[in-house]
Structure 1
Amino acid sequence: MTTNILFAAKAERWTTYEQPLAKSLTDTEVNFDLRTEFAPEEVDYIVYAPNSEVQDFTPYTRLRAVLNLWAGVEDVVGNETLKVPLTRMVDHGLTQGMIEWVMGHTLRYHLGIDGHIHGQDGLWRNEAPPLAQDRKVTVLGLGALGAAVAQALAGLGFDVTGWSRSAKEIDSVRCENGPEGLRAALSEAEIVVLLLPNTPATENTLNAETLALMPRGACIINPGRGPLIDDDALLAALDSGQIAHATLDVFRIEPLPAEHPYWAHPKVTVTPHIASETRASTASQVIAENIRRDLDGEPLLHVVDRSLGY
């Protein structure tokens, strides 16, 4: 029996994904028909981007699962017409890209690279940075991406604390959870990395109160979600010197408006949502494997918990 797979995303994504998806599905020996158009009642699976034209899932009466192409699901998880399992993208290519981006910006802060780049004024500043073991880094969010980043940082020797809403255990990482755990995780954090999902419970995780918990002169790296930070509170903390610098890859409005104060602020580095991305070659393998598992009666990977929003 042929499995009908609808690719529901922007047209340019089809150009990128058609061949990798077809190859990955063939490799997993799924008998498939992959298209961008089907009669809704004929569709078994939807490979999905939340910005596609498919917003009402009611007509898809044969649908078994929706396989999200994005790591974030905040734009689809609340869709009341979606009654079948929703999976989020946990892609080893995306994970590796995130590890590399976070490591680069963490080392930038740890080694004081900016000071050497901008300090070419003839003064001999013979001050070596501490070893990584003496630098405290906190990762907020210990899902697939956060856990991988925390382990990579620990592998380089950093003193890593991780925080999540629920209890976690990760080798070489001191794990905290809950409100008191957040206070403990921030209180010694010289560098904070945000990799929490975007939910009502995580909005403004960094605000005036929590920013004040951090050691004066700490740095922030946010490749997670823009709403995790109260922008006004961060700008005030930067201006006061409570926070020394922030590297921000994600924002409440994207592209970041040209008039936004982050662009001109001397203590902010803006990157245009490039910390990592879903790679078609590796993401296609994840999607194909999930379809194979479901057809073989095995549990889907990376199923979203609707009650938590991720």
Structure 2
Amino acid sequence: MHKVLIISKQQPRYHQRLSAAQLPGLHLTDVPDEAEIVLADPPLVAPMLADLPALCWMQSTFAGIDALMQPELRQDYQLTNIRGHFGPLIAEYVLGYTLDYTRHLSQYRRQQRRGQWQPLPYTSLATRTLVILGTGSIGTHLAGVAKAMGMTVVGVNRSGRAEPAHFDRIYPLTQLTDALAQADVLVSTLPATPQTDRLLNRDSLSHCRETLVFNVGRGNSLCETGLLAAINAGQVAHAFLDVFNQEPLPPHHPFWQHPQITVTPHIAAESFPEQVFETFRDNYLRYTQQQPLHHLINFEHGY
């Protein structure tokens, strides 16, 4: 018997699916002391880790697990996250906003309300270079969609190596500024690790040239004052930000009213319970058969 505890804002939906699935040997519990397996939203479960003495495996409902990476928290269990579902959603977000900006779609809507017929100049995305920080499943999917639209795609990761599919060039993090100098559109999909902290700062962003900047990874990778300086210097044309160091963004934060910053409330790619359940079910069967789990987190690396 494997006792499973659910700690999530979507608890009723997960409970319903697990009850209906009738997975072998699975017993749902509401008692933290009993839980051998936990299906959880990382921010909700992090304060409770000390209350889970029987924990052996936790399935995160999110891709991001930085709430569980704090050095004071225990790491004596297997942690898996969600991967493979977010690439299409991130691609929709990034390319949707990029096309809105480059093709002046919102501007035309405003002109329509004024009865104004005024064509605006534009160039095709096929003339643009997209730089993606992070070449994992999200970055790779985004690269594929961008290539289908004719864009040149440059990737940046720790080693400078990756599967060649969809990327025209790959740079190591040590050559970040070489990549940024090419960026018409820059997208960070990076996880929160010490190596990514404030990676996009005043110095690195100074190598951009009227770039559209997206942060859809983690808030720690972007230095907020550095971004504002780069916007003021004309190095960043507009920033589309979905993740922040502090969420929700404080009411008086300068980003809210800035004309060259678009703020969205961490919605670029949500974890849908139906998809999370499929990952959990697959990993649960592997767990019960003592097989290696998919999407296992390396606590040392932080992803």
Cα distance in 2 for partners of 1:6, 1:269 equals 38
Name the SS for the 1:83 alignment partner: coil
Distance 1:149-1:198 versus aligned 2 partners, 3 A rule: same
SS in structure 2 at match of 1:56:
helix
Aligned-pair distance for 1:285?
0.8
Match of 1:17 in 2: 14
Give TM-score, length-normalised by structure 2.
Answer: 0.89
Q: What SS does the aligned partner of 1:55 have?
A: helix
Call closer, same or farther: CA 1:84–1:55 in 2, change over 3 Å. closer
| CA shift for structure 1 position 270 | 0.9
**SS of 1:201 mapped into structure 2:** helix
For the Cα contact (< 8 Å) 1:197–1:225, is it kept in 2?
Answer: yes
Residue in 2 aligned with 1:6?
Answer: 5
- Which structure 2 residues correspond to residues 16-55 of structure 1 after superposition, within 5 A? 16-23=13-20, 25-26=21-22, 29-38=23-32, 40=33, 42-50=34-42, 51-52=44-45, 53-55=47-49
Equivalent pairs, count: 297
User: Which ranges in structure 1 are unaligned for 5 or more consecutive residues?
Assistant: none
Deviation string 1:81-129 (CA, Å, 9 cap, x unpaired) is 231211112252x4432222222112223323344345567463353x3
Q: Which runs of 5+ in 2 are unaligned?
A: none
1:168: Cα distance to partner? Answer: 1.2
Residue 59 of structure 2 corresponds to residue 67 of structure 1: yes
User: Alignment partner of 2:83: what SS?
Assistant: coil
Question: Distance between the aligned counterparts of 1:241 and 1:117, measured in 2?
Answer: 26
* Counterpart contact for 1:165–1:178, Cα < 8 Å: yes
Q: Work out which of the residue numbers 94, 104, 117 in structure 2 matches 1:102.
A: 94
Q: Kindly indicate whether residue 247 of structure 2 is the aligned counterpart of residue 254 of structure 1.
A: yes
Q: CA deviation at 1:155?
A: 2.3
Q: CA deviation at 1:58?
A: 6.4
* 1:1-310 map, 5 Å: 2-9=1-8, 12-23=9-20, 25-26=21-22, 29-38=23-32, 40=33, 42-50=34-42, 51-52=44-45, 53-56=47-50, 59-60=53-54, 63-78=55-70, 80-90=73-83, 92=85, 94-118=86-110, 122=116, 124-125=118-119, 127=121, 129-166=122-159, 167-215=161-209, 217-310=210-303
* CA apart distance, 1:239: 2.0
Q: Which has the higher contact order (CA 8 A, sep 6+)?
A: 1
* Separation in 2, partners of 1:247, 1:158: 19
After superposition, the Cα gap between the structure-2 partners of 1:175 and 1:35, relative to the gap in structure 1 and judged at 3 Å, is: farther
SS state at 2:213 partner: strand
